[in-house]
C-alpha cells in the first residue's frame, strides 16, 4: 500500500536577513517564511498526505525569538496532520536545546500537538510508515548521523512490510549547504555516506541541508528550502519547492516537485559596450524582474563602460531599484569613459582653469585604484556645471 507524504526542510524560521538594510523589508522576508508553511499545509491537504517530514533546520538558530516559535507552532498546528521534525545544524538537539525549553514545549502542546520533534536515533513507527531519523544533537559532527541505521535491519524492532524512510540532515557526495550560500565556505561536516546504507531495505531518503531541490539517487532527495532565502549559485540550484512523495515498500518512490516560494531572487549580469546600450539595459532589466516587482531581490553585476552623464542615469536607476525592490546586491564594475563632448565641457574651460584642472585630474584617476571616488566626483561636477 503506497504512503503519500510531504518532504520539506530548511525552513530556517527567524532568519535575520542581515544583508537587507531596510528593517521593514527584513520583516517582510521573515514573515513570508511563516506564510510559506500555510502553502505547505495546503499542498498536504490537496494530495491527501498522511504526514509531513521536516529534514532539519526548522529554525534558523538554536535561540529563536519567542514570537517566531509561537508563529511556527500556530502554522504547524493548522496543518492538522503529523509533522515530524529532526534538529539540524542551525537548531541542533542535545541537553538544554531549544526543543527542551519550557516556552517551546508549552507552545507545542497548546498550538501544535501534531508536531513531533525526534531527538533520538531510533525507529519511529507510524500507521503507514517507519521513519529512521538521524537527528543532529550538535551543530557540527564528524560522525555520520545515519551510522546507526546500517545495523538497524539486522534484528529489526519495527514492521518490515511498511515503507522505510530515512530522515536526515547533512551533506553527501562532497557538497553541502554552505556551497550555495553567498559567502560561506564548505566545512565538510555532518557527512552522510549513502553508500553504506542497506539500499534494499530503504524506500526513501529525505534529506535536508542543501537549499535547492536535488535528486541524489532514485531514492534520495534534497527537498531544498520551501521559500528561497539566498541568491542561487549555478543553473542546477533549484530552491523554493517541496516534494510530494509516494513511497511503497520495496518499490522506487514516486516524486512530484511543487513550487511554494513567493519571492524571486534574480541574478542579472550586464555588459555596457556604449552609452546607447543603456536603454536596452533598462528594457531587459524590466523584463527580467517582470511581474514580481516588489517581491524581487536582485543581484546586479555590471561591467563595461559608460560616459559621465549616462553613468549618472545608471546611478539614479540603481537608487530607484534599491527603494523599490527588497534588496539589490550590486557589483558595479562599470568604468567611466567620458565622451569627447564631456571631456571638452570639463577639461577645456579657458575661462575657468581651476575646474578644468580638477576635471583633468579626476579623468586621470578613473584608471587608478581611486576610480570609484573619481567617478562619483566627476558625475557630481558634470551635473553641477550643467
pLDDT in tens, 276-296: 899 999 999 988 887 667 789
Q: Quick one: 3-259 is in which CATH superfamily? A: Metallo-dependent phosphatases (3.60.21.10)
**pTM score, two decimals?**
0.86
Domain ranges of the chain: 3-259, 264-385
**340 φ, ψ to 5°?**
-60, -40
Share of the chain above pLDDT 90, in %: 69
Residue keyed to cell 543603456 = 278
Strand partners, 132: 166
pLDDT in tens, 184-215: 544 557 899 999 999 999 999 999 999 999 99
Buried residues in 200-230 as b, exposed as e (16+ CB within 10 A): eebbbbbbbbbbbbbeeeebbbbbbbbbbbb
Amino acid at each position: 500500500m503506497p504512503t503519500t507524504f510531504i518532504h520539506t526542510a530548511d525552513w530556517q524560521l527567524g532568519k535575520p536577513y542581515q544583508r537587507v538594510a531596510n528593517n521593514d523589508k527584513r520583516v517582510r522576508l521573515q514573515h513570508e517564511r511563516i506564510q510559506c508553511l500555510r502553502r505547505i499545509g495546503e499542498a498536504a491537504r490537496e494530495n491527501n498526505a498522511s504526514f509531513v517530514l521536516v529534514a532539519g533546520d526548522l529554525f534558523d538558530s538554536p535561540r529563536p525569538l519567542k514570537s517566531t516559535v509561537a508563529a511556527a507552532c500556530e502554522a504547524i498546528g493548522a496543518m492538522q496532520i503529523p509533522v515530524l521534525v529532526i534538529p539540524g545544524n542551525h537548531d541542533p538537539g542535545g541537553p538544554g536545546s531549544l526543543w527542551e525549553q519550557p516556552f517551546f514545549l508549552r507552545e507545542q502542546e497548546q498550538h501544535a500537538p501534531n508536531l513531533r520533534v525526534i531527538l533520538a536515533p531510533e525507529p519511529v513507527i507510524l500507521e503507514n510508515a517507519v521513519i529512521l531519523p538521524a537527528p543532529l544533537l550538535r551543530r557540527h559532527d564528524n560522525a555520520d548521523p545515519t551510522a546507526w541505521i546500517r545495523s538497524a535491519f539486522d534484528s529489526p524492532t519495527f514492521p518490515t512490510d511498511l515503507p522505510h524512510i530515512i530522515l536526515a540532515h547533512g551533506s553527501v557526495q562532497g557538497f553541502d549547504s554552505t556551497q550555495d550560500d553567498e559567502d560561506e565556505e564548505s566545512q565538510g561536516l555532518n557527512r552522510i555516506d549513502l553508500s553504506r546504507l542497506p539500499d534494499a531495505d530503504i524506500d526513501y531518503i529525505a534529506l535536508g541541508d542543501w537549499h535547492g531541490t536535488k535528486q541524489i539517487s532514485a531514492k534520495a532527495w534534497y527537498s531544498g528550502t520551501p521559500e528561497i532565502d539566498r541568491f542561487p549559485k549555478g543553473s542546477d540550484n533549484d530552491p523554493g519547492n517541496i516534494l510530494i512523495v509516494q513511497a511503497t515498500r520495496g518499490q522506487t518512490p514516486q516524486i512530484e516537485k511543487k513550487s511554494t516560494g513567493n519571492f524571486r531572487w534574480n541574478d542579472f549580469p550586464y555588459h555596457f559596450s556604449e552609452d546607447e546600450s543603456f536603454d536596452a539595459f533598462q528594457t531587459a532589466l524590466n523584463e527580467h524582474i517582470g511581474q514580481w516587482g516588489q517581491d524581487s531581490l536582485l543581484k546586479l553585476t555590471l561591467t563595461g563602460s559608460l560616459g559621465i552623464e549616462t553613468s549618472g542615469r545608471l546611478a539614479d536607476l540603481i537608487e530607484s531599484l534599491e527603494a523599490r525592490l527588497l534588496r539589490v546586491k550590486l557589483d558595479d564594475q562599470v568604468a567611466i569613459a567620458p565622451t569627447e563632448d564631456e571631456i571638452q565641457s570639463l577639461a577645456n574651460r579657458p575661462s575657468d582653469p581651476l575646474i578644468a584642472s580638477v576635471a583633468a585630474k579626476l579623468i586621470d584617476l578613473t584608471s587608478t585604484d581611486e576610480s570609484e571616488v573619481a567617478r562619483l566626483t566627476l558625475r557630481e561636477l558634470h551635473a553641477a556645471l550643467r
